[in-house]
Amino acid sequence: MSAIAALADLTNHQVCLASRPVGLPTRANWTFSSEPVAAPGPGGVLVKTLYLSLDPAMRGWMNEGKSYIAPVELGAVMRAGGVGQVIASQNPAFAVGDYVNAGLDVQEYCLIAQDQLKRSGMFRIDPRLGLTPWLNVLGMPGMTGYFGLFDVGQPKAGDTLVVSGAAGAVGQTVGQLAKLKGCRVVGIAGGQAKCDWVVNELGFDACIDYKNGDVKAGLKEHCPKGVDIYFDNVGGEILDTVLTRISRGARIIICGAISQYNNTTPVKGPANYLSLLVNRARMEGIVVFDYADRYPQAVAELAGYLKAGTMKSREDVVQGLDNFPEALLKLFNGENFGKLVLQVASE
């Protein structure tokens, strides 16, 4: 039986966007469908999905309207990055058995035509560092943290950095990198377990439990000289509170606003934004795709830290494509502990 013939026996289960959610997405917003697996054409590659990256940004892709990327169309397979294994290839750059990171979408198999390879961002990964870290510190969140911190935040040794979503994918990257660069690092996370982990395992100087503590008092205690860099993943009240504690010339990196993504009311703007004026401070947005040319350099640096044990990468793995709708919600209630990934298949 040829490899191509074997492919014809496979079914590709997919999760498609059925309707645009109002507020939190529910199972009713998704349809499950399937199709036969097709063989790649000349220059194309077929990838078996192993792990998918579940990210706050997905909520934005489900909305209509202009953003930094087109919305997922109704009826289309939901967009997702992932790691997988090449199981058929007509492209000399990728061999059967290669592990890759790419835009695979929420499905079991992803057929990528030659002219879509670049758009998919597909690149080979080194499985010796594990697979899930390639969706975390070595993946998009890691790149986001790396370039947001260094290019926008411009940390100097001795700066005080605060990062929200501290135990999340971007947060753990940012905090650990800032520690390596000599900053004082204070996390904000939900629950004692996450706070303990970023302090005890990742080496943050302190972590404020926003679910059980007073963020303003925590900032006052742990950032006595004010906040020089705030890496914001959450928006809302926490952003507004940090704004009251920034120091002169502070840099605020606007990476996301997970507290606002499921609003059915308008986004809450930062009422304390005039603190930017008083403190001659800056608030700047970052979109990771702008740094694509420099990913290899950042990945090499971060992989070096992981290998040396000077950085850690923690993922929260949920099993099964069928559980995608509920797994995604873990992000929005803060249930995930570490980078949230969905395991779709075993190697």
Task: Summarize as ranges the residues that interact with a copy of itself (CB under 8 A).
Answer: 66-68, 235, 240, 254-257, 260, 266-287, 290
Residue 79 · residue 103 · CB < 8 Å: yes
Question: Least separation, in Å, of the C-beta of 100 and a copy of itself?
Answer: 28
- Least separation in angstroms between CB 25 and a copy of itself: 19
Q: Closer to a copy of itself at the Cβ: 143 or 327?
A: 143
| CB closer to a copy of itself, 15 vs 288 | 288
DSSP β-ladder status, 206-209 and 184-189 = parallel
Do residues 103 and 135 lie in contact, with contact meaning Cβ atoms separated by under 8 Å?
no
Nearer to a copy of itself, 23 or 182 (CB): 23
Task: Kindly tell me which of 67 and 200 has the beta carbon lying closer to a copy of itself.
Answer: 67
CA angle 55-61-67, nearest 5°? 115
Give the count of alpha carbons within 13 A of 112, CB side only.
28
Nearer to a copy of itself, 82 or 148 (CB): 148
Comparing CB distances to a copy of itself, the nearer of 114 and 272 is 272
Number of neighbouring beta carbons within 10 Å of residue 194: 26
20 or 268: CB nearest a copy of itself: 268
Shortest Å distance, C-beta 29 to a copy of itself: 22
Distance (Å, rounded) from C-alpha 138 to C-alpha 126? 11
Least Å from the CB of residue 290 to a copy of itself: 6
CB contact at 8 A, 165 and 189: yes
Residue 219 CB, shortest distance to a copy of itself, in Å, is 15
Q: Closest approach of Cβ 243 to a copy of itself, in Å?
A: 9
Least distance from a copy of itself to the Cβ atom of residue 246, Å: 10
What's the closest the beta carbon of residue 338 comes to a copy of itself, in angstroms?
A: 23
Nearest distance from C-beta of residue 276 to a copy of itself, angstroms: 4
* Closest to 85 measured CA to CA, from 97, 67, 71, 95: 97
Closer of 253 and 342 to a copy of itself (Cβ): 253
Whichever of 211 and 280 has its CB closer to a copy of itself, that residue is 280
